[in-house]
Amino acid sequence: MTNTVDSETGARARTRAAIMEAALVVLGRDAQASLSDVAAAAEVGRTTLHRYFPERADLLRAVARQVAQRSLQAIERAEPHTGPVEAVLRRIVEEHLELGPILMYLYTEPVLHSDPVVVAEMTTMEEGIDEILARPDANLNPQLSRAWVRRTFWGLLYAGWETAKNGEMTRHQIVEAIMTTLTSGVYGSDSSAL
């Protein structure tokens, strides 16, 4: 399939890109959206969509690969080897806020968890965070495994995406809340009252 995508030019490439962008938005907004919904958002007929993605699973795999690539690009744009770990993680949070709804969908879509290629790409995305957490200056709590901290990081991003979707906080407040929770925990400085 990669060869087909690489060899597409002109109108075919634009149509594929329109379908992919529509799928990112539509599926991120409604996990149960039909292929007809995606086709309508892409402003193409359902038959056209099926020429590019014969089955729903084909579209989902393509979306998952694209999102994993965007996540890795977001990590690279955050300059993971420049500056203190906390600053790097803040930049990654800022870069990932836009991917929220579709990433949430990908992590909950069962079809994707049985596809070894998609699983490998999602694992590579997570390894990008692991690499940052493995830096000597990460200063992680020694009582917590790096895997726990990585999962906590993604969990906080999920909470941020949900908060943004519900309009409960501004983007700046969400970034600050994620970073405060990640670096200081949920207890205030006077936790003796607990």
Task: List, in sequence order, the alpha helices (H) in 30-165.
Answer: 35-42, 46-52, 56-77, 85-96, 100-108, 110-113, 116-133, 146-165
Smallest CA-to-CA distance from 72 within 126, 7, 139 is with 126
Rounded CA separation 192/188 (Å): 9
Could you please state the CATH topology (level 3) that the domain comprising 63-185 is classified under: Tetracycline Repressor; domain 2 (1.10.357)
Domain spans of the chain, in order of start: 1-54, 63-185
pLDDT single digits (tens) 110-164 = 888 888 888 888 888 888 888 898 888 888 888 999 889 988 998 899 899 889 8
Give pLDDT tens digits for 19-69.
999 999 999 888 889 999 999 999 999 999 999 999 999 999 999 889 888
- pTM score of the predicted model: 0.77
Which CATH architecture best describes the domain 1-54?
Orthogonal Bundle (1.10)
